[in-house]
Amino acid sequence: MAADSDELKVSDLSFWAAFRRFFLRGLGALLPTLLTIAILIWAYNLVDRHMGRYINGGFIAVLAKTIGPPRGIDPVNDALKYGTRTDIIDAQGRFLTREYQIINHPVHAARGSYERNKALWQIAFAKYRLGLIGFLAAVIIVWFVGFFLASLVGRRTYQGAERLFYRLPVVKAIYPYVKQVTDFILSERKLQFSGVVAVQYPRQGIWSVGLVTGSGLRTLHEKTGARTLTVFIPSSPTPFTGYTITVEAREVVELPMTIDEAIRFVVSGGVIKPPNQQVEAALPGVASPKDSPRQAEVVAVPEHSAGSDDGSRV
């Protein structure tokens, strides 16, 4: 029956309304996967661009110096296909590449120079997709740096480097703030929330969902004599930002929700609620979303008996 009613609803829609409905439904299903893939590609390109390419360049330089030219590389066709294209066109109408010009230069080709061997290895890396070596080496280097910093010598070295950064004229104005952001995102000590509460913020009568981060400041506790809590009020739809407030414990209402459920509630603008927080029926004086504007007006106005003294009419 539910499927039949859904088909009837779709049949009642116009073409563009039905198209928009199913397009948004498909976009909602595909968008999380597409964004995840896009973020992974962005992270790969970031590491490869700032670390991987330089590591590959070092590998290529060592191979060109020690081993010589690679095998299985056509100095003409492969150099034109996998090289870095330039705007130069030869007599046959082909766009030449930078590597092709180096490999086939008479001086380099005659004596098998280091520059020619290096260009051939660059073509080999591009042809056989060996650029992944630099990315994997960058990941291993980052892991090794973290492993080294976990030791006593590593911590002392890092602390000494930090003290130097804090003294440099220009770096000291940038480094501390960048470090705060990276420490917040990558620190192993994750921000712990002890519960989900509702608090009247930013004024009385407006309830906001907040996350309890801990007890309040000792000075406030001593001055007020009341038990206080520190509550983080996440903003919507980006819960990474928000406001931190301190309120008395008796002024908060504990909510039977998990942290994940509270975050989903905030991100969705209140649309996604836990099953135990769903309100089945409309509250008295509050119009249901299915009600028309006229119906909402009637629901909001208190009923009067026919024999009321003031003679009010609805």
pLDDT digits (tens, 9 = 90+) for 203-229: 999 999 999 988 888 898 888 889 999
Among 96, 124, 150, identify where a domain stops. Answer: 150
- Is residue 124 included in any domain, yes or no? yes
CA distance 7 to 1: 10
Does 144 fall in a domain? yes
Mean pLDDT of 168-193: 78
Count of domains forming the chain: 2
Q: Are residues 222 and 146 in the same domain?
A: no
pLDDT at 11 over 50: yes
117 and 226 co-located in one domain: no
Same domain, 202 and 142: no
Give per-residue pLDDT as tens, 128-165.
999 899 999 999 999 999 999 999 999 999 999 999 98
Q: Are residues 20 and 135 in the same domain?
A: yes
Average pLDDT, the chain: 82
pLDDT of residue 190: 56
Tell me what percent of the residues of the chain surpass a pLDDT of 70: 82
Residue type, 74: D
Residues 127 and 23 in one domain: yes
Per-residue model confidence (pLDDT) at position 5: 47
139, 229: one domain: no
The token pair that represents 79 in the structure block:
């150099």
Query: 34-74 pLDDT, tens per residue?
Result: 999 999 999 999 999 999 999 999 999 999 999 989 999 99
Residue 163 lies in a domain: no
Amino acid identity, position 10: V
Whether residues 141 and 267 fall in one domain = no
Does residue 42 lie in a domain region? yes
pLDDT band at 282 (very low <50, low <70, confident <90, very high): very low
Map residue 246 onto helix, strand or coil. strand
Confirm whether 190 is domain-assigned. Answer: no
For the cut 70, the answer to whether the pLDDT of residue 248 exceeds it is: yes
**Residue 292 pLDDT greater than 80, yes or no:** no
Same domain? 211 vs 138: no
Residue 228 in domain: yes
Pure H helices in 210-258: 218-224
Query: 117: exposed, middle or buried (C-beta count within 10 Å: 0-12, 13-18, 19+)?
Result: buried
Mean pLDDT across 293-305? 39
| pTM to 2 decimal places | 0.58
Closest CA to 113 of 127, 123, 102: 102
Least confident of 109-123, 206-220, 288-302: 288-302
Grade residue 192 by pLDDT with cuts at 50, 70 and 90: low
Q: Could you say which of 134, 150, 166 is where a domain stops?
A: 150
Domain that holds residue 87: 11-150
